[in-house]
Amino acid sequence: MLEGIWNQFLQIAREEVGSRVVETWFKVVSVQRWDALSKTVYLHVPNNFIADWIRKHYMVLLRVHLGRLLHVEQPEIELVDDSYTPVPENAVLASTSEVAKIIPAQGMMVPRKQLLSNQNVRNYGSTVNCNYVFDTFVVAPSNSLAYAAAQAVAEKPGQLYNPLFIYGRSGLGKTHLMHAIANSIKMRHKKALVLYQSADRFVQEFISAIRFDTIHTFQAKYQAADVLLIDDIHFMAHKEQTQEAFFQLFNLLYDSQKQIVFSSDTFPQNMDGIAERLRSRLAWGLVTDVHVPSLETKVAILKKKAAVSNDILPDDVADFIASHVTSNIRELEGALVRILAFSSLTKQEVTMELARMVLFHTIQSQPEENRRSADFSHILKCVGKYYKYDIEELRSKNRNKDLVFARHVTMFLMKKHTNKSLRDIGMFLGSRNHATVKHGVERIEEYTKNSQDFMMQLGRIEQEVLGK
Q: What is the dihedral of CA 424, 429, 431, 436, to 10 degrees?
A: -80
- φ/ψ of 227, rounded to 5, equals -135, 125
Q: How far is residue 67's CA from residue 73's CA, in Å, rounded to a whole number?
A: 5
Question: pLDDT tens digit string along 248-279?
Answer: 899 999 999 999 999 998 888 888 889 888 98
pLDDT digits (tens, 9 = 90+) for 7-49: 888 888 888 877 777 877 788 788 888 888 888 999 988 777 7
Report DSSP state, residue 269: G
Q: What integer pLDDT is reported at residue 361 of this predicted model?
A: 65
| pLDDT at residue 369, rounded to an integer | 44
pLDDT at 184: 94
Q: Binning pLDDT at 50, 70 and 90, where does residue 374 land? A: low
Residue 333 has pLDDT above 70, yes or no: yes
Q: What pLDDT score does 363 carry?
A: 60
What average pLDDT score do residues 48-67 get?
84
Strands 30-35 and 40-44: antiparallel
Checking if the pLDDT of 126 tops 70, the result is no
Band of pLDDT at residue 67, cut at 50, 70 and 90: confident
Is the predicted pLDDT of residue 368 greater than 50, yes or no?
no
In the structure, what pLDDT confidence band is assigned to residue 362 with cuts at 50, 70 and 90?
low
The structural domains of the chain, ordered by start, are 2-80 (3.30.300.180), 134-289 (3.40.50.300), 295-371 (1.10.8.60), 376-465 (1.10.1750.10)
What pLDDT is recorded for position 84?
41
- Give the per-residue SS3 of 31-78: EEEEECCCCEEEEECCCHHHHHHHHHHCHHHHHHHHHHHHCCCCCEEE
Q: What percent of the chain has pLDDT over 70?
A: 87
**pLDDT exceeds 50 at position 161:** yes
Determine the pLDDT at residue 194: 92
Residue 87 has pLDDT above 80, yes or no: no
What's the CA angle centered on 143, arms 274 and 193, to 5 degrees?
60
Give the pLDDT confidence score for residue 92 in this predicted structure.
Answer: 36
> At residue 112, what is the residue type?
R
Q: Tell me the per-residue pLDDT of 167-209, one tens digit each, with 9 for 90 and over.
A: 988 888 899 999 999 999 999 988 889 999 999 889 988 988 8
CA distances from 454 to 264, 387, 408, 444, 447 (A): 51, 13, 13, 9, 7
Confidence at residue 327, expressed as pLDDT on a 0 to 100 scale = 67
